[in-house]
Amino acid sequence: MKNTLQKQKAYFDSNITKSYEFRILQLKKLKSAILKFEPQITQTLYKDLHKSSFEAYSSEIGFVLSTITMIEKHLRKWMHVRKVRTPIYELFTKSYVMFEPLGNILIIGPYNYPFQLVIEPLIGAIASGNTAIIKPSEYTVETEKVLVEMIQTTFDPEYISIFTGDHTVTGEVLKLKFDHIFFTGSHHVGQIVYEAASKHLTPVTLELGGKSPAIVDETANIKVAARRILFGKFINAGQSCIAPDYIYVHESVHDEFISELKQTLIDRYSDHQSFGRIVNNRHFQRLNNLIDVNKVVYGNEKNEENLFISPTIVDQVTWNDPIMKEEIFGPLLPILVYKDLDEVIQMIKDKEKPLALYLFTSHKEVEKKIFSHISFGGGAINDTMMHFSNPNLPFGGVGHSGMGIYHGKYSFEIFSNQKSYVKKGTRFDPPLTYPPYSKAKVSLIKRVLK
């Protein structure tokens, strides 16, 4: 590992990764490789998580292809040195911002979108002119294998490398000195990464999780709310960081909402064949322990052998239930009933800041209130998940749900140092800033800086 990183440092120092032409060529190589490996990636995502081809393409393969296409269009412009305004008192001066690559990047990924969540940051690292080492999740072994083959047959290891293994491997990699660590995963491991990074004062992006609420108020379009919440919850069998974790529904529309959820599940989710599977037995057991069978109003069909849990609705849940004590990360949807929106706001604010929040309402005042009173990473009004797929929106958490943003141009920025500088002519050299500092100079500076 040390050897690979040393080679990557030397490669970066040769300046080869910095030109626009090099970066574009590498993005094109990556795109061709993804297209070439598309059938294998689709297969391995099915083997690891039982992802349907639609989910595999829309949330993993097609997702990253469209990011490359977007960056190819804009990269030249993003790389331009940007001229900014200069205050009047800095006479005969021009001011600039230059985006320079950081150097050697480490990317650590989770199991739930095992391809997209390492390739998306990799695209940003390449576009910004860096080298990178990827450490994918060891849980999704088949996807890990295809990632290894794709990366090793596409890039020289001194430019892009991939390390595999369990958390002990990640622990070893984390001892090395990188220029940026991009981590996606749980809060607990995020802390380990942050601590390791602090030894070298390495900047980090931490894309973490948590409990993301959805609120359905009395003015919501209940049919649409049910459909969109179920989509966001049950894609990838609920194993999405921005899945609505739990629902707060107003008591006046509770019965209608539950009946719409049930009907939608019957109409659209009865084919269990195309539904995702839990990644491993440990998580299967963990989820199983969160279910209070007395509160289940739909679902709870299980098959331990093939790690299947059907879409499950748990009603009349309170914060005392085990299901509300941790991020669910599975196909279980708890419903909490509320009367007073202010109490809901206070309850959410008393918890850690969520990664996402979804609001279903047709009331503008409610939109304003929720969005201005509650802090969260990102979200949607009358939808779920969709803020993630717009590359023009920054994606990331806040507080407990993470730090740093990426996607589209934000990925380019996160892996760049914004080097600022001024350029001054030498023909005139006014004496204002030089000693001795007379009273006249003091009074002049007071008039200028106020």
What whole-number distance in Å separates Cα of residue 323 and Cα of residue 246?
9
- Would you call 20 exposed, middle or buried from its count of C-beta atoms within 10 A (0-12, 13-18, 19+)? middle
What whole-number distance in Å separates Cα of residue 193 and Cα of residue 180?
11
CB closer to ligand NAD, 171 vs 322: 171
142 contacts 48 by C-beta, under 8 angstroms: yes
Query: Using CB under 6 A, which residues numbered 389 to 408 contact ligand NAD?
Result: 397, 402
DSSP assignments along 104-130, one per residue: EEEEE--SSSTTHHHHHHHHHHHHTT-
By the rule CB under 6 A, 147 interacts with ligand NAD: no
CB 133, min distance to ligand NAD, A: 12
What whole-number distance in Å separates Cα of residue 137 and Cα of residue 139?
5
Q: Count residues contacting ligand NAD (CB under 6 A)? A: 26
Element (H, E) at 76: helix 62-79
What whole-number distance in Å separates Cα of residue 231 and Cα of residue 244?
10
CB closer to ligand NAD, 38 vs 138: 138
By the rule CB under 6 A, 327 interacts with ligand NAD: yes
What whole-number distance in Å separates Cα of residue 281 and Cα of residue 305?
9
CB closer to ligand NAD, 141 vs 381: 141
Q: Which amino acid is at 341?
A: L
75 contacts 23 by C-beta, under 8 angstroms: yes
Q: Which of 120, 241, 260, 327 is catalytic?
A: 241
CB closer to ligand NAD, 115 vs 257: 115
CB closer to ligand NAD, 181 vs 229: 181
Of 338, 365, 333, the C-alpha closest to 250 is 338
Angle in degrees, CA 415, 417, 421, rounded to 5: 160
Query: Which of the ranges 66-74, 206-214, 287-295, 428-436 carries the binding residues for ligand NAD, by CB under 6 A?
Result: 206-214
Residue 330 DSSP symbol: S
By the rule CB under 6 A, 186 interacts with ligand NAD: yes
Centre a 10 Å sphere on the Cβ of residue 100 and count the other Cβ atoms it contains. Answer: 13
Extract the tokens encoding 229: 């919440």
Of 395, 329, 356, 376, the C-alpha closest to 121 is 395
CB closer to ligand NAD, 242 vs 344: 242
Q: Which of 189, 337, 347, 445 binds ligand NAD (CB under 6 A)?
A: 189
By the rule CB under 6 A, 244 interacts with ligand NAD: no
CB 92, min distance to ligand NAD, A: 47
Q: Which of 48, 144, 207, 260 binds ligand NAD (CB under 6 A)?
A: 207
By the rule CB under 6 A, 138 interacts with ligand NAD: yes
Residue 207 annotated to the active site: yes
CB 374, min distance to ligand NAD, A: 18
153 contacts 33 by C-beta, under 8 angstroms: yes
By the rule CB under 6 A, 317 interacts with ligand NAD: no
Q: Which of 131, 137, 264, 310 binds ligand NAD (CB under 6 A)?
A: 137
CB 137, min distance to ligand NAD, A: 4
By the rule CB under 6 A, 184 interacts with ligand NAD: yes
CB 9, min distance to ligand NAD, A: 22
x/- binding map, residues 102-121, to ligand NAD, per CB under 6 A?
A: ------xxxxx----x----
Q: By Cβ distance, which residue is nearest to ligand NAD?
A: 209
What whole-number distance in Å separates Cα of residue 323 and Cα of residue 223?
25
By the rule CB under 6 A, 181 interacts with ligand NAD: no
CB closer to ligand NAD, 232 vs 397: 397
Instruction: Provide the sign of the torsion angle of the four alpha carbons 157, 8, 109, 212, taken in this order.
Output: negative
The binding site for ligand NAD (CB under 6 A) comprises 108-112, 117, 135, 137-138, 167, 170-171, 184-186, 189, 192, 207-209, 241, 327, 329, 355, 397, 402
Active site residues: 207, 241
